Amino acid sequence: MLEHTGVLFTYLIALKDDETDRISVSGINSLQCLLKDFPLRIAELKEEAEWTNPEDILEIYCIFGANPQTKAFMDQIRKVQNLVYNNILTNKDFDYQAFILQNLAEQEKKKCFSEHVAWIITYHTFCFERLYALQQFQFTQADDMLEVCCLGLGLEYEDNRCLWMQSAVEIWMEREAPRLYGRQVTINSYWLNDLKGRRIIGVLPENDGDGYFLLVEGGKKVRLAAGSAAYRNEQIGVRDINIFSINDLNIIENNPIYSYGIYFQPYEIFEDWQKVFQYAIAVLDVEWTPDTLQKVYELFLDFMKNQICEFVETPAILEKEIFFKTFLKTINKKREYLCCKEDAIGRSVIIGLQKSQSYQRFAGRQQEVFIQKTENLNGSPPK
């Protein structure tokens, strides 16, 4: 089963200029790229830098999360690399490259996030022209909540090279502002990606009189006086315009606080995951009913509690039967859209699905777990 879903895994490649002391940093991360695509995307980034002196290329893997999540990842990386080293030392005929490639190919079936990350790093440590040394360093934010464990790929342990690597990570962190949002790590570019393709409708004053915000297509709010965290998927509501918006009604229909008495925080993260959950079960070849949907949804809520969001419990005020009848209509609309009936859902939802692709690697696999557990409860799969 998937674990440590809230952790952010990042590969950074930095080019340093010894004459100007400048560093340019680019990279990929697990919010924008499926793990199975990491080796190909890394190769593309390295190809772009092929004319650079190898000594001026810095490669760093970063694990962003809360301890003990980051500790679990680092332990898994050491475990995998020790396995390879021990086989090399004890078996002179051991083909370590074939062994690593075989294990890397099998990770999609195992569905263990930390183990997959470990084999990706091991592949780049062992399977190229040189055998790299992993240079470890870490950062902890001022509030001690977010921990960043870094592994730089170096030819040898050099103090100067390690300092360059630390500077590269700091540059990326300043730009992306990684932070724990609930139990999940988010970054600026992830949130801002949601605004691609949306039209600006107008400019409205904040309800507290402190500044203005942009109203963007889909009812999205972009605060104009909130610095680097100006956008985090907020939606316009009754507090902004003194009337109930479509978003307010959607929250009442889809927020489990009303039917389950569970208040998830931050709600923006929960809402993103729930939309992907709806998409994932819409594409399954299952004829859902309110009863079968309820059992799978409750497993989803357990997942959100344990891996993604903080929550508090409150009295429920809405019957679950009503909740799931509405929920089922939402799923059926998504199915109609997937069957090429584009008018079944709004354009804003279609744009939102583009951003949600980063979660689909988790949501799609997690459904297999939910379905399996439901089969165990019923003795047969839901139809």
Query: Which is more confident, 47 or 339?
Result: 47
Q: Each residue of 176-185: pLDDT tens digit?
A: 989 888 888 9
pLDDT value at position 252?
A: 75
Q: Each residue of 268-303: pLDDT tens digit?
A: 889 888 988 888 888 888 888 888 899 999 999 999
Spatial neighbors of 301 by CB under 8 A, at least 6 apart, are: 256, 260, 262
Give long-range contacts, CB 8 A cutoff, 24+ apart: 174-180.
175/25, 177/228, 177/229, 178/8, 178/64, 178/146, 178/148, 179/141, 179/146, 180/6, 180/65, 180/66, 180/145, 180/146
Rg, C-alpha atoms of the chain: 23
pLDDT surpassing 80 at residue 97: yes
pLDDT value at position 364?
A: 43
Give long-range contacts, CB 8 A cutoff, 24+ apart: 298-305.
299/369, 299/370, 299/373, 299/374, 300/274, 300/366, 300/370, 301/256, 301/260, 301/262, 303/366, 304/264, 304/270, 304/273, 305/262
Q: Each residue of 42-58: pLDDT tens digit?
A: 999 988 887 878 778 88
DSSP annotation string for 131-143: -PEEEEEEEE-TT
Q: State which amino acid sits at residue 279.
A: Y
Q: Provide mean pLDDT across the span 370-378.
A: 48
- Per-residue pLDDT band for 171 (boundaries 50, 70, 90) equals very high
The Cα–Cα gap between 259 and 164 comes to 53
pLDDT surpassing 90 at residue 9: yes
- How are beta strands 8-17 and 57-65 bridged, if at all? antiparallel
pLDDT value at position 115?
A: 93
pLDDT value at position 158?
A: 62
- Alpha-carbon torsion (359, 360, 365, 370), positive or negative: positive
3-class DSSP assignment, residue 362: helix
Query: Which is more confident, 261 or 239?
Result: 261
- Per-residue pLDDT band for 341 (boundaries 50, 70, 90) equals low
Across 365-378, b (16+ Cβ under 10 Å) vs e yields ebbebbbebbeeee
Q: Which residue has the tokens 């909130």?
A: 226
3-class DSSP assignment, residue 212: strand
| Tokens linked to 252 | 């009442």
- Per-residue pLDDT band for 359 (boundaries 50, 70, 90) equals very low
Q: What pTM value is reported for the model?
A: 0.80
pLDDT surpassing 70 at residue 361: no
Of all residues in the chain, the percent with pLDDT exceeding 90 is: 26
- How are beta strands 200-205 and 212-216 bridged, if at all? antiparallel
The pLDDT mean for the chain works out to 81
pLDDT surpassing 90 at residue 118: yes
pLDDT surpassing 60 at residue 355: no
Q: Provide mean pLDDT across the span 200-205.
A: 89
